[in-house]
Structure 1
């Protein structure tokens, strides 16, 4: 950083990992090998990128900050298997022909130290990309990782938990203290590992509609499913909603945090029959 006279940008949530043991552990959790293609998000000065490049078949590193793109061209020059792309990951369309080879990858993983302020949008963007990820291993704020791995009936359980469960198995790999970052964040971090489910249990055509439905169920956590869904389906008569709850064998007086994934799917499918 001194060599290139670079200052961190708070607006981009730049907190870089500077502890080699943590970097190596990320590579191990992601099980990177010579057949693995890696997507890295926000490589910064390339510390994690270099660890990935030593084990991976190819590393595709997306960096939004032009200052670091210039540095990476220099620091990563010894590694022919690294490609640095100056783009905002949220604006990358993986269905474009430029990324066709990713869909053919034998093993595709994401490894990233994510900016705290856009962790959820990045994960949802990746899950919606239609890429066949083997796993996503990501550093994030501990509180967010706990929400993604939350159990039914807990305060941390929310619509994000349900969205993750549709496609992935979530597990908290390990906790990371603020001391291994530069600059140090004010909170603990955690590494979350999402592993693709071989046989997802969902059975509906439009996953986006389902996610909107689940978000509506959690709209006001203290309210019942009945009160939240009455607002979400303003044109449906009360008797119809009652019959749907009865058909799903789910009490309208329950709160969203008490429903598991299968119950959400069942209720959504029944409520969608009229549409």
Structure 2
């Protein structure tokens, strides 16, 4: 320990910090303060963070997770959008010289530039964060679509969203988010977090998701954006068949319908299937086939 105070994430220290600074969790920023040291340590362990790693954190709050990362990592750079939390973090993390706080919205930040400025290129880079629930998906998609390469991404999110990310074809939770996220990375739920671990308690339970680089696919889409747009279009009406959704994407003109039929025959995919029955590779195959047919 760098001082004799309890760790930031302990319930007593969390409450003391909140009272001292008269902090109230801002619903507009999705703030809930995690106050369970075992869970905080397990989050860092899920990322296998060690003293060779550089780590990006998003939304450090009062520094509870930041402290646990800093104890194990080489360096931590945390993005905090709430200016009111900057003096709090200056105090709570003052003994950790390997931490830098950046007062910026991660969705607007130039992440590749920050990584180049703050970290050595020869060290593994990881992202570990308790994400604001209301912008979990935009943050994850932004990170995964950037040129920055993470060895691991370990983030807390709403349990329901986590289930969608890891859902398999044919299940109720499987949808466009499942396909797109699984195209970008290997996704798994590390463990679940009860709502009672937070101050104040949110209305939902949470889960820790771990994303790691996925294996090379046997076939790739001709363009990522085209794949994402196509997948979203296929799930536009979940209760409708693939055939009906494809007409919604491309049109119902006789000539277009004939070309859709040609592609389905070529790929051997039944027009009667519902979109949630298709695998990631099915979606990639269809994207490329429709492109070759001149529909995309």
TM-score of the pair, normalised by structure 1: 0.95
Deviation at 1:103? 8.5
Distance 2:233 2:249 in 1: 6
Q: Give the match for residue 178 of structure 2.
A: 161
Does the CA contact (< 8 Å) of 1:166 and 1:201 recur in 2? no
Distance 1:117 1:269 in 2: 33
Q: Give the match for residue 249 of structure 1.
A: 268
| Pair 1:82-2:99 in alignment | yes
**Residue-pair matches, total:** 274
**Aligned pairs (5 A) from 1:251-270:** 251-270=270-289
3-state SS in 2 of match to 1:59: strand
Change (3 A) 1:103 1:161: farther
| Pair 1:215-2:262 in alignment | no
Distance 1:205 1:61 in 2: 35
3-state SS in 1 of match to 2:71: helix
Does the CA contact (< 8 Å) of 1:16 and 1:183 recur in 2? yes
Q: Give the match for residue 115 of structure 2.
A: 99
Does the CA contact (< 8 Å) of 2:226 and 2:287 recur in 1? no
Change (3 A) 1:201 1:75: farther
Change (3 A) 1:103 1:123: farther
Does the CA contact (< 8 Å) of 2:164 and 2:173 recur in 1? yes
Distance 1:103 1:251 in 2: 51
3-state SS in 2 of match to 1:157: coil
3-state SS in 1 of match to 2:88: helix
Q: CA offsets per residue over residues 39-96 of structure 1, 9 Å max, x none?
A: 1110000010000001001111001100112211221121111110011111122243
Match of 2:48 among 19, 28, 31: 31
> What is the alpha-carbon root mean square deviation over aligned residues?
1.5
Distance 2:34 2:214 in 1: 29
**Aligned pairs (5 A) from 1:115-154:** 115-154=132-171
User: Which structure is larger by alpha-carbon Rg, 1 or 2?
Assistant: 2
TM-score of the pair, normalised by structure 2: 0.89
Match of 2:199 among 179, 182, 187: 182
Does the CA contact (< 8 Å) of 1:103 and 1:132 recur in 2? no
Match of 2:245 among 215, 228, 247: 228
3-state SS in 1 of match to 2:211: strand
Distance 2:283 2:192 in 1: 31
Deviation at 1:260? 0.5
| Pair 1:11-2:13 in alignment | no
3-state SS in 2 of match to 1:237: helix
Does the CA contact (< 8 Å) of 1:39 and 1:109 recur in 2? yes
Distance 1:264 1:5 in 2: 51
Structure 2: runs of 5 or more not aligned: 1-17
Q: CA offsets per residue over residues 208-257 of structure 1, 9 Å max, x none?
A: 22111100000010011111111211376111111011111111211110
Match of 2:256 among 219, 237, 240: 237
Distance 2:257 2:188 in 1: 40
3-state SS in 2 of match to 1:91: coil
